[in-house]
Structure 1
Amino acid sequence: MRLLGFVLLGYACYFLALIVFDLVAAPRAFIIWLWIGLGLIPVTVIISFIKHNLRQAIGYLLLGPLLLFIFVRIMPGYEFSGSEGASNFPTIQPGDLVVARVAKNALTRGEMVSFDTWQPTAYDFIRKRVHGIPGDSILVCDGVTYVNNYHFSLENNWQPVAFDPAKRCNSQRSRYLLGENEFFVLGDNQRNSWDSRNFGPILRQQIRHTALYTIHEDSHAWGSPNVTFLTRSFVMPEH
């Protein structure tokens, strides 16, 4: 029982270090710290086998991964989730691990957020990028979204593309003036995304987390992980 107390204390300190030093916010530090957590498992098993018996060693072999999984999953202030389809491809790809932080009060254009939807979907939450913030004027013309008369997309490397006043909207034209707590969100794969163009602006109270980065499935076990940072800067040209 004394060994169990030391094991629990060790993982509690490990968990506390993750939070205090904010190691999750840096992808490489987070991966290294996960390997340290995995390294605690064989150390515990070896000590248990030497001091006690094989049965207890097997017990700690099962307990270690369970504690590590629980501690990481319940870490306050963070969310770890898988990819949710093709709406943000290729930024977020199938099999990726997305690391997110609880959303702050002030959100800016270009942040990737997860939010609750008030409509029935196959997912518990949806993840999209903020294009419009309170006070913005939104124009949707033939499926293309303009924020204060500028369009932002991955295809244009998030550089502003001005709306042509001579352009005629043939199939779709929608206008929004975002209220105090309203945000207009789009998937990065704007040609294949169910977003605010379909269900309108979302409210601040629907937003849960701001995505920091995604660790791609093809990351190597050793060395720097293959990571894409998910926040982009949308710069509005000065008039």
Structure 2
Amino acid sequence: METKSVSFKQVFKEIISTVVLAAIIAFLILKFIGGTTIVDGISMEPTLKTNDFILVNRIGFLLDDLKYGDIIQFHSPYKEKKDFIKRVIAVEGDTVEIKNNRVYVNENELVENYTMTKGITGFTNEKYWEIGKDEVFVLGDNREHSNDSRAFGPIKTDSIVGIAFLRLYPFKEIKKF
């Protein structure tokens, strides 16, 4: 029986090529399928807090329709090189109305147990929006401190980066959305 001698150099090359390949695959997955983001700001409290580390599905909304309650990452409507994170409360074909400091979608008052203010908008002016083709209406969960569709109107779906689906950090608050 013959044995083949493997040199340290060969083993090292094999390890390096495996690590490089794994890094390339991880980069491609994060770039095109999923991504990460760190929350900066209080507009989504209590659901998300500053420095929460979340995973974002970049292709899920392309394969399936956005749903009420989805938390999305999207490009700032102000043309800044910044992304926002907000909750979808209305989709194409819906109407949104704010009256008596409450949010109504298709004439039904939203029941929002996830907000800091239990559904109060922090926006006393009456407003009305019709959500057009390829648009969604988004609000932050902390309405008193959120720059959202109440200020800039519905957003185009092509500005959406992805849907937040998992908070990874802080570890004691890992949560699937």
Following superposition, the deviation at residue 154 of structure 1 comes to 3.3
- SS of structure 1 residue aligned to 2:138: strand
Residue 228 of structure 1: aligned partner: 175
Contact kept, 8 Å, 2:45 with 2:142, in 1: the verdict is yes
The equivalent residue for 1:140 is 98
- Structure richer in helix, relative to its length: 1
Q: TM-score, normalised by structure 2?
A: 0.76
Partner of 2:69: helix, strand, or coil? coil
Q: Give the letter aligned to residue 148 of structure 2.
A: D
For the 8 Å contact 1:73–1:79, the answer to whether it is kept is no
Q: Which runs of 5+ in 1 are unaligned?
A: 16-66, 162-169, 220-224, 231-239
Partner residue, 2:167: 214
Alpha carbons of 1:84 and 1:152: their partners in 2 closer, same or farther (altered >3 Å)?
farther
Give, as a single letter, the amino acid of the residue that structure 1 aligns with 2:95.
Answer: S
- Flag the structure with higher strand content: 2
Which of 138, 144, 155 does residue 185 from structure 1 map onto? Answer: 138
The structure 1 residue matched to 2:47, chosen from 79, 91, 107, is 91
1:73 and 1:80 in contact (8 A); partners too: no
Quote the RMSD (CA, aligned, Å).
2.8
Question: For the Cα contact (< 8 Å) 1:146–1:152, is it kept in 2?
Answer: no
* One-letter code aligned to 2:19: Y
Matched, 1:197 2:150: yes
Q: Quote the offset at 1:180 in angstroms.
A: 1.6
Instruction: Tell me how far apart the structure 1 counterparts of residues 134 and 33 of structure 2 sit (CA, whole Å).
Output: 22
Correspondences of 1:66-215 after superposition (within 5 Å): 72-75=26-29, 76-103=32-59, 104-105=61-62, 106-121=65-80, 124-141=82-99, 143-148=101-106, 149-155=108-114, 171-215=124-168
Q: Secondary structure at the match of 2:49?
A: coil
The aligned length equals 159
Percent identical among aligned pairs is 23
- The answer to which structure, 1 or 2, has the higher relative contact order (CA under 8 A, 6+ apart) is 2
In 1, the alpha carbon distance for the partners of 2:18 and 2:140 equals 41
User: How far apart are the structure 2 equivalents of 1:100 and 1:205?
Assistant: 16
Q: TM-score, normalised by structure 1?
A: 0.58
Q: Residue 109 and residue 78 in structure 1: after superposition, are their counterparts in 2 closer, same or farther (change >3 A)?
A: same
Q: Distance in 2 between matches of 1:200 and 1:5?
A: 55
Structure 2: gaps (5+ residues)? 1-8
Amino acid at match of 1:215: L
Residues 85, 192 of structure 1: CA spacing in aligned structure 2 closer, same or farther, 3 A cutoff?
Answer: same
Give the deviation of 1:117 after TM superposition.
1.8
